[in-house]
Each structure stands twice: as structure tokens, then as C-alpha cells.
Amino acid sequence: MQQVQTAADTTAESIIYVVDDDAAMREALLDLFTVSKKRAAAFANGPEFLEKADIHAPGCLVLDFRMPEETGLELQEKLSQAGSRLPVIFLTAYADVPTSVRAMKAGAVDFITKPFTQQGLFDAIDRAIRLDASRRQAEAERDRLQALVDSLTPREQQVMGAVVSGLMNKQVAGQLGISEVTVKLHRMSLMRKMQSRSLADLVRKVEHLRHRAAV
């Protein structure tokens, strides 16, 4: 198996992965990224990439659409099955509308035809990395909010669900079969645990969790 080619910039967290069976293309891209002080690693094929790369790392994947052993779409499918959400930018020398549509439907963030301009490639990479960073930030916020919810007692979760649905304390008490004073105590406690100073903020957090769960 061919040794992995690497160009690293330790000041950047995101990494640009390149998978292309054309050695000249791999070397040219690594040289380009090195000069631009971008962190990158290149692989000759899908199996090598899957074996040696961190497919859950922040960054993006620049992927040759047509390769002899395994197509880019097949590799993308394997990444999806492995739970990787690494943004993919396809490169191809044989562009056509059906191929482009197929790639984008499979989840690619861009589809670039060879030969391409340096600026065009960098623009696509910047978009992909921003997309990845935004997704990771949203997931981190979801995890943070879920941890707050998990800190609530079962009764506090019941009270929170009723409150964010628009029920008044008296209505919550009647629904749960507890006193209004008890509802108020639970409400004060859950607001503190959820780090919310207003009902509007609490509703926003709960809706954020529901939205992310539905995605």
C-alpha cells in the first residue's frame, strides 16, 4: 500500500482530505495546500483513506469521482454508513448533468470539473469547511442542552413539557395532580437547571432540541 502523503499546518484544526488515484493530481493539490498553509492529507484510493484517515475529523474531503477500484460515490456511501458527515467535494474530468445531479443528491457540497481554477477549488473548500464547522457547533449546542435536560428530575421534565406547551401553573397542577405551589417549586428548579431566565429562553432551548432530533 502506498504511503500516505501529508502536508500539515498545526495552527489549523480542519483538515482537507484528498482521495485521487492520479499521483500527479495528489502531489499538485498537496503542494497547493502547503503553500496556502492549509492542513491536508492525500490518499490513492478509498480503502487507504478509510484505513488511515480520521473520517470524523473536522474538515472536508476532495474526492475524485471516477477511480478504477471504487468510485467516489461508493466511497461516499461507505462514509455515510460509518456515520461520517465529512463534507464531500467531487472532482471529475467527465462532467455531465446526470452525474452532477447524482453526486449532489448523494450529499456532495460541490462538484468541480477538471481542469479547475485555484480560486474555484478554494471557494468550494471554504464553503465545505464552514458547513462542517456550523454543523459541529449546532451538535455541540444540542449536546449541551440535552445534558441540561438530563439533569432534571422526571417530574421537572413533566412540568417543563407542560409549561413550554403554554399551560399556566394552575393548569399544570391539574394535569399532573399536584399542588400549584409544588408546580412553582419545580418550575423554579428546572429554570435554574436549564440556565434560563425567561420562559421564552426555555421554549427556545426545548424547540432547538426537538428540531435537531427531527433532522
**What's the grid cell of residue 38?**
492549509
Could you read off the pLDDT of 67-125 as tens digits, one per residue? 888 888 899 989 989 999 999 999 988 766 777 777 787 778 998 888 899 999 999 99
Q: What is the pTM of this model?
A: 0.76
pLDDT, position 98: 76
pLDDT, position 11: 32
pLDDT, position 6: 45
Contact 18, 45 (CB under 8 A): no
The separation between CA 175 and the C-alpha centre of its own chain, rounded to angstroms, equals: 39
- Rounded distance between C-alpha atoms, residue 94 and residue 122, angstroms: 21
pLDDT, position 10: 33
The string over 192-208, giving b where at least 16 C-beta atoms fall within 10 Å of a residue's C-beta and e elsewhere, is: ebbebeeeeebbebbee
Q: How far is CA 113 from CA 17, 120, 131, in A?
A: 18, 10, 21
Low-confidence stretches of the chain (pLDDT beneath 50): 1-3, 5-11
Q: CB within 8 A of 112, min separation 6: which ones? A: 89, 90, 91, 92, 120, 121, 124
